[in-house]
Amino acid sequence: MNKVVVMGTNHTVAPLEFRERLALIQTQNQNDDADALYQGKSSDQSPIKLGTWLQGKYQIQGAVTLSTCNRVEIYATLPSDQDPYQLRRFVTESFQLEGELVDKYTYVYEGLMAILHLFRVSSSLDSMILGEPQILGQIKEAYSTALKDNTADLLLNRLFTKAISVGKQIRTQTNIASGAVSVSYAAVVLAKQLFNHLKDKTVVIIGAGKMSELTVKHLVENGVSRVIVVNRSCERAERVAEMFNGMPVIYQPNLNFLAHADIVISSTTAPHHVIQLDPLKRVMQKRSDHPMFLIDIAVPRDISPETAQLENVHLYNIDDLQAVVASNLQDRQQEAELAEKIASTEAMKFHGYLNSLGVTPAIKSLNQKFQQIAARELEYCLKKGNLNRQQQTVVSTMIRSLIKKLLDSPTRHLRQVAANADPMQQICLLRELFCLDDIDSSESADNFDISE
């Protein structure tokens, strides 16, 4: 009987410096894309597929590796009585890490705890941003790679299939993924509230900092069709405009570049307001007071707070956006409680299911043992008793019923134990008590198959 083990590290237990050393290198060779390591690479300098290496050199029965920007995890199957030391040895040797660091910055879970951990990961309960959607796709990709490399055994196949299902279930049955939880995406949410939709809208980005670039990216993904990039430097404006197939414009204090803007995002390092009340007032008059949505994510602020008094001007600063994020995070935290319950329930169910698979061979062996004994005794009885066919049927039926009643209690007990705990100790005791390892597999007992 095998067990599931996970060894890994993530943003909650290890600093970036350690995660960088443990990160799996994504490499593209001539044949395919696969997780690979250059530590411990082969003599011809070609990368070694991680799952295959674990199965070969480290004798792990099955392996799936999950590598993202915030976590590196190895899911493996081992015999129930085997210590997960092989995984630790793999990590220390392959990444040339000190054992003390590995012990300090990694975690190891077995059995139910390993199952629950993966279900929490697939549900984004263990993510840096609660409810983020990327992790489920990353798990699917890791599982797909293991299938392609033939390193996922039957147990891991069932585990990862279920983990993906649980991740989808939690996103369907809870609101853990609802609401904007980043400043850049909060701007998109507010813009949608003002305009209903963003199709055919024009966005003007002033300053072209990293945060404003990300905000524009989200806006474009949500339908914005035209991007204007304003900067004091023409070269910088052209470079950022190229990213969005937009138009570069040199900044002018008269703000005429806002004449057709629906959404304005400003993020400069200017020590003064780059959008002031009077110039914006004149622009709004020229555009017949068509609504304008302004997002000021600069510190100090780029847009004069006085502009908010203008009709049809909707101004939000970075604190406004962060308030939206905080409110949504609070909502997600409340939904996380329900998600945790679902993950725990499903993990216990799956653990019980795996344990039931482990007791099935023992139950079958016990049945077979009793059937063989009954078959021998019946044969002896029929020879000595000179019974007619009707009498033989009565005796045979009686023996079948007797075996079922004798085995009913131990069978139910084993399945009960399997549903709630590791049944290995009981299985070993059962095999020893009834000498189940000495069963003659060549001996037939078809007439006493009590599993019918």
DSSP H or E run through 437: none
Could you tell me where the DSSP H helices lie in 149-271? 154-173, 183-195, 210-221, 234-243
Question: CA-CA distance, 186 to 323, in Å (whole number)?
Answer: 9
Number of H helices, E strands in the chain: 14, 13
Q: Are 195 and 293 in contact (CB under 8 A)?
A: yes
**Catalytic pick from 69, 234, 428, 435?**
69
| C-beta contacts of 290-294 below 8 A and 24+ residues apart | 290/262, 291/194, 291/195, 291/262, 292/258, 292/261, 292/262, 292/263, 292/264, 293/190, 293/191, 293/194, 293/195, 293/262, 293/263, 293/264, 294/263, 294/264, 294/266
Q: Are 191 and 263 in contact (CB under 8 A)?
A: yes
Residue 69 designated active-site: yes
Q: How many residues are given for the chain?
A: 452
Query: CB burial class (10 A; 0-12, 13-18, 19+) of residue 389?
Result: exposed
Question: CA-CA distance, 109 to 288, in Å (whole number)?
Answer: 64
Helix axes 183-195, 210-221, angle to 10 degrees: 40
Query: Which region, left, alpha or beta, applies to residue 343 given φ > 0 means left and ψ of -120 to 50 means alpha?
Result: alpha
Q: Are 364 and 429 in contact (CB under 8 A)?
A: no
Question: CA-CA distance, 14 to 24, in Å (whole number)?
Answer: 16
Helix axes 154-173, 134-148, angle to 10 degrees: 160
Catalytic residue ranges: 69
